[in-house]
Each structure stands twice: as C-alpha cells, then as structure tokens.
Structure 1
Amino acid sequence: MTYCVAMRLDAGLVFLSDSRTNAGVDAISTARKMTVFEEPGDRVMVLLTAGNLAISQSVRQILAENHDEKRSLWNARDMFEAASIVGEAVRQVHKRDAHALRDAGIEFNVSLVFGGQIRGERVRLFNIYAAGNFVEATPENCYFQIGEAKYGKPIIDRVVHPSLPLGEAAKCALISMDSTLKSNISVGLPLDLLVYEADSLRVTRFVNIDERNTYFRMIRDTWGHRLRQVFGEIQNPEWNPTEPAEFPLARAGEPDCWGQPVRARRNPSRTQE
C-alpha cells in the first residue's frame, strides 16, 4: 500500500509520496512512487502511483520509453492530451496482463495522480483510474489522494484551498503524511516532495525526506504536541443529573423506541437459580 497526495493551487502544484511496498508482513520493501517528466522551458509533468507495483511500473516504463513516438508525453499539445496518453498506457497494460492476473486471483489494481504544466497553458491535475479514464481537479476540489487516504484527509479538508501559498500547502501535505504514518504501518519513509511553481517550466523544489530530515522531525514532534495541547484546552462535556435526558432510556415495561439504546437488566430469579 502507499499514500500519495497532490494539490493544484493558484501558485502551482504540490506532490508528495511515500515509498513503502508491502506484499505481506515479511515482504516489506521500498520503491519510489513519483516519476518526473521534464523538458526545461517547455513542460514539467509528475506522476504518482498506487496499487499493484508491477502494473504501475509497467505504465511508467511505457510512458518513459515513448520519447520518440508521434504521440507521447513529450509532444502532447496540452495536459488533457497528456492525461489521455497516461490513460492509454494503463489500458495497454490491462490488455496485456489483466487476463493472467484474473486467472491468478489478483485484481487489476492501480490508481494514478498526474499533473503539471505545458508551455502556453495553466497548471492542471488529474486523477487517473484503473480503467484509464480520469477526472480533473477543480477550484472546489483542488487536491487528489490515492492509497491510504483516510488518515491524512481531515487536515487537508480543513486547510487547503486554491489561494493557499505553496509553502503552507507543502506543510499541510507533510502533516497529512505524518498522520498517515502514525496510523498505518503500510505507509513508510522515505518520502518524495516536489513543489512546482506555476510558469517556471522546470523543477526547482524537490527533496527526499527520511527519518533524519530535521524539518519533518519538527513537523512530527510539533503536530503531536499541539494536538494534545488543543485537545486539553477543549472543555469536557458536562452532565446535569437534574435535567431529564432528551431521549431517556426505555424504562422497564415500556416498549423500546427507535433510536434509543436497549437497557438490559439482570433477572433476580434467574440469579438465585
């Protein structure tokens, strides 16, 4: 399993991926989930992958080797065409491998996030599915997650919006990743973080993060401490025994009402037996 997140903002794009692969408790390894396709001054495209590693590596290989083809990422006219080319690569792998995988009882499982900018158009971000179809990020939904998304989603939902500066978005992505690392052993270090500034048409901000990274260690320590601090500052619930409950427990001899808990009582006669 893995966790990847990408954000499309007014100022550019943020991509973050972990590197853990898991084929069982005794077969844990690392593999990069981020691939960068760059032609400085003309285009920068980033691919994040989750799911079956053999499938995602095959898709990536097809895209990388099509450098001289008439239709490839290197000569796509815009990001929509580039996303279509990625979807076609997924379908090509499906056509080749899906039947054999099905015979082996394995699902064709892959999900991709693909984004970037080609000279002459805006930055764009897509979520590409196992069928090769895709959806594009919008101002109302400006980020995508793949893999173990549930643990890191709450912080992104509360913080990220299109006008958020790139630095703050990168910080939010790292907190989201830390929350996932804390709760799920199938996601692990090292991480790849790429921040793309709109219209730069080159990679200028990239870092590989391991357990020795000072900033990420600060994020982990500070976020955990501040969460506990805020939690302690929130008032505990108060119980007033003089006020009847809005939905009281059903009393003996009364029928149970929908939405009320069932009260079970010990039968004294049975206890004496």
Structure 2
Amino acid sequence: MATPSDSATDSRFRGEAPENAIETAHALYRSELSNTSFSEVLLSWTSHFVFALVPEDVGMEEALTTEGPDGHTFIAVFTSLSRAAATVASAGLPHRPLAVSIFEVIFLAEPNFGLVINPTIPVWEWTFLSGELERLRTLLLTPLPLFERGSICAIRGAEYYQAAKILMVDDHGVHIRLYSNCWPSPPERIDVSTLILDSEGPGQALGIGHLPFTTKAFLAQGPVAFQQSTVTEEELDGYQIWQQDQGGYFAS
C-alpha cells in the first residue's frame, strides 16, 4: 500500500493542524504506518467529501489532472473546500471545486491514472501511483465494514446529490433504498424524518425502494455516509422479493 512521501511527514512536526477527520486519520497513519491506522483512513473517507477541480458546467469527466516527474497522470483532489478554493485562486485556474466521494474518484479513474491528494500542499500531500491505486481498489472490494446496514448516505448524480439508505450488505454487493430527496449541492445534514420515496415534485428525484449494486458499482456511485438509522421489515419488501427471484446486481 502507498506510503506518504518524505515531504508529507506527520503534521505534528510541521505545526499545521488538520482541518477535518480525513486529515486527522491521514496524520495518524503517517505516524504509525499500521493496518489499524490505515483502516481509520478508509473509514474517514466514508463520511466526508473530497473536492475535485472541474471546469464550470462540466462534471468529473473533465476533472483536473497533474503530471508526475515520470510522466504519469494523476487525478487531483483536495481534502477540504478551503484547500481546493485556495488552489484555484492562487493558480488562477478556470475551475470550480466539486464535492465528490473519494470512492467515486478511485473507481472511475482511468486504469493508468494515479491519485494525488492535496497536490499543492506538501504537508498534506499523499500520492497513489496507478499500481497502488489498483491494489487499493482490490482491497476495497473485499468484505470490509466501511458502509453498514442502516447508513444514511448522499449519492452524487449528474445534477444533484440524492439521499439513500443501505438496506443490506452481502458478499457480492450493497442493497440500497433511493429516496426522492435531493440537493443541488452537498447537504450539511440529512433529516431522516423528511425522507420520502414516492414523490417527483419540484426539487425531487425518482425514488426506488430497492436497488442491488455490486460493491464496485455502489462505491462508484460516490456514497458519503451521514448517520446511522434502522431498517424496517417493510423497507425490506423489495429485497425479499429479489431474494425469492434470485435476482442479480447492477454492475454500473
């Protein structure tokens, strides 16, 4: 697995405090370089957006990339909106920060691309070469308790962020309940009491009671978990019908 470069040593020796839980987990891993601390990094990724830089009115397909000294291409993301915005301002880029799940970036990246986190901020920079990123994909597709049953998530669509609940996680994929609630920008919180399924009114999207995705396809949807909730027997109706029919999984 990738390890930080010498320029990305523990922030406690640089006098710069982390801005969020992702950076706190990264600093811990840099200090310990253990499997346990790396698991904390993965868990921090489940509940926080990162920020790619994209041109106005364009999505992730045109996300900013950078070229390493070896000529390899890396997708650039930032661990906070402020860090992304500061890079845009200082470099005079014609781009805007776009909140995305790091899992979406990892699974939608071209096979020969790497990933660089905070490329303009040496103390918080972390680089994954293309081969390291492929090993990370393999790790993420093994049964890991990153997203739990009952997790309330936001999933990024082409035009909005939509609420979803994880109904079940099995060895092959993730089953979700997709709500009609959606937002043009990342929600700061999701009020479970307001979640609805069957409305397509203004500012709402199509809700679906049960959607089975392969683990890879689910992570590529860009989920970010906000809180835990319960799963009722009624909410499992679609899942149980799927089981009886021996249904498959959406792979993309």
TM-score, structure 1 normalization: 0.25
TM-score, structure 2 normalization: 0.26
Greater length-normalized contact order (CA 8 Å, ≥ 6 residues apart) = 1
Larger Rg: 1
